[in-house]
Amino acid sequence: MGDDALPVIAEPVSDPDDGGLVDLEPGPVPDDAGPVDLAPPPPVPAPTEAQLRRAVGAVVAASAGDALGAGYVGSGPLGPTAPVTMIASSGEEPGEWSGATELATPVLEVLARGGDVLDSREQDTIVMSWLDVLHGGQPLDPATTAVLRLVSEQLERSPGLPAAQCARRNARRRHERERGPVTSACIVPAAAAALGFLGPEDAPRLTRAVKMLVTTLHGSPEALAPAMLWAHSVRSVILDGPAPLDDSLTHVPGHLRRRWEDHVAEAASASPTLFENDGLAVEAVQVAWAAIVSTANDRGGTHLERALVAAVRAGGDTATTGWVTGALAGAHYGASALPDDWGDLIHGRLGRSGADLARLAKQAVLASHERAVSRLAGLDQAEAEGGEAG
């Protein structure tokens, strides 16, 4: 089994505005001011083998949970001993993942080739890839499908429109018109993005990236809470191993935090079958966390396998919930904790395999490190040139 224990996050992100007044009066300069420290910042540490293993585990286990759950979508809660295996969903093959993994893959592709999802052009690339998924006939959740169809229609009329900006506008307008609940799909691209922000100072950048990705498909500000919670949890587990999910609540927007503290506490002491799982983000988080916590000390198989099976037994939107569970539990245990036959079976519609996702995950982590090093070098150079000009 890989590292032992359970998930979550690290550095807190402060609320953007505190409502106070800024004092613009210059303060006195102390007479004993010491010399300015011109020492270069410490180098960005390269990812360790354990971190690479956990990152690959997050991606591969998420797709395995998706594929496992795909055969049970719409089922009611199953009994505690009901067998859960890689069966075929309607019209698909055993082990074939669903739209959840297809939403995550374009984010990983951008990261793996060294792209930064904070770049608006890369966001356009991701949205265009999602449109390819939609046009290829892959079923996606109704809310995501509705937004992407509007984007597709507008881009047909005006091909030059920025795809991500168009998606955000349509997501916002759709929410203002319908005020529907936040669906679990908002968690998927956010958690995938965590692999691109593993540098020591990258937590605030991940927060911005999650906002950029989530708002392309979800117009409700409340979609940020579950997405931030899970993305920062995955990042923390990849970097440092076990930590309680409660820690990542510091990344939930302040006005939503108390509510999400209650959601997490409730899930930590319940069976996943007690939560309705109708495709909403709150339910996905609670089912996933309850599945991870409630199976920690059970016997049989690995904890990763038991958690995924427990999430699927909860019924409902089992594919997305399986993905969400696998992303966090897999980050802790690594892909080697999956049953061998699952790893051999999982695949996508276009012939992509679990091994392909593993390569994308590893490349995304290594490229993340290279970007962090380059960013540091770029800042150093800019400072040096500014000093010379002065």
Nearest to 146 by CA among 166, 179, 176, 174: 174
Instruction: With beta carbons less than 8 A apart as the criterion, state whether 78 and 315 touch.
Output: yes
Q: In terms of Cα–Cα distance, which of 369, 290, 317, 329 is closest to 60?
A: 329
User: Would the annotation count 105 as a binding residue?
Assistant: no
Contacts of 122 (CB under 8 A, 6+ apart): 110, 115, 116
**What angle (nearest 5°) sits at the alpha carbon of residue 256, between those of residues 205 and 292?**
80
CB atoms under 10 Å from CB of 302, counted, come to 18
Buried b / exposed e across 32-66, counting CB within 10 Å, b at 16+?
eeeeeeeeeeeebeebeeebbbbbbbbbbbbbbbb
**Rounded CA separation 372/192 (Å):** 18
Query: Torsions phi, psi of 96, nearest 5?
Result: -85, 125
Paired with 280 in beta bridges are 183
Please enumerate in sequence order all residues whose Cβ is within 8 A of that of 359, keeping only pairs 6 or more positions apart, or say none.
112
CA distance 20 to 125: 39
Question: Residue 387 is encoded by which pair of tokens?
Answer: 């000093």
Q: How far apart are the first and last CA of the chain?
A: 57
| Residue 317 marked ligand-binding | yes
d(CA 322, CA 66): 5
Cα separation, 115 vs 10, whole angstroms:
24
Backbone dihedral region of 241: left (phi > 0), alpha (psi from -120 to 50 degrees) or beta? left
d(CA 57, CA 329): 8
DSSP-assigned letter for residue 298: -
**What residue numbers does the annotated binding site for Mg(2+) cover?**
317, 320
**What residue numbers does the annotated binding site cover?**
317, 320
